Amino acid sequence: MADYVQVQTATQTREQAVELARTAVAERLAAGAQIIGPVASVFWHNGEFGTGEEWQLLLKTRIERYADLERHLQAAHPWQNPEVVAVPILAGARTYLGWIDSTLTSTDDQ
C-alpha cells in the first residue's frame, strides 16, 4: 500500500471547498489542498438524474491520516453523503513527499 494518498471531495460552492481545505490543513490532517472549479457534474441522486456544477477539493496526506481526514470531511461537509475517496500516490518527488511528512508532523508554522 502507498504511504501517501490524494483525497478528494466536492462541494456546491467555492467557499465551502475553501473552508474544508482550510480546516483540514490547519489541523494537519492534510499537508496541502487544491481547489478546482467549477467542474461539470453528472450524477444520480435520490433516484433522480441530475447535472450541475461543483468545486473539487484535492488534499494530500499520508495513509495513516486518512481515517481522521475522512471523519473531519464527513463531519464538516455540508452534504449528508459527500464523496470522500482516496487515491494512492504511487510515486512522487522525494522532496515533495518529504514536505508532506514534515508538514503533517510539525508543530511549527511553515
| Residue 19 counted as domain residue | yes
Domain that holds residue 89: 4-105
Q: Which carries the bigger pLDDT value, residue 107 or residue 88?
A: 88
Considering just the CA atoms, what is the radius of gyration of the chain in Å? 15
Q: Is residue 65 in a domain?
A: yes
As to burial, measured by CB atoms within 10 angstroms (0-12 exposed, 13-18 middle, 19+ buried), residue 12 is: middle
Going by pLDDT thresholds of 50, 70 and 90, the confidence category of residue 108 is low
Record the cell numbers describing residue 88, joined without a space.
494512492
110: in domain = no
Q: Give the CATH number, domain containing residue 59.
A: 3.30.70.120
pLDDT of 106 reads 76
Total count of domains within the chain:
1
- Is 33 a member of any domain? yes
Rounded to an integer, the average pLDDT of 61-73 is: 98
Task: Count the residues in the chain.
Answer: 110
Is residue 89 in a domain?
A: yes
Q: How far apart, in whole angstroms, are the C-alpha atoms of residue 84 and residue 59?
A: 11
Question: What's this model's pTM, rounded to 2 decimal places?
Answer: 0.91
Q: Is the preceding omega at residue 38 within 30 degrees of 0, hence cis?
A: yes
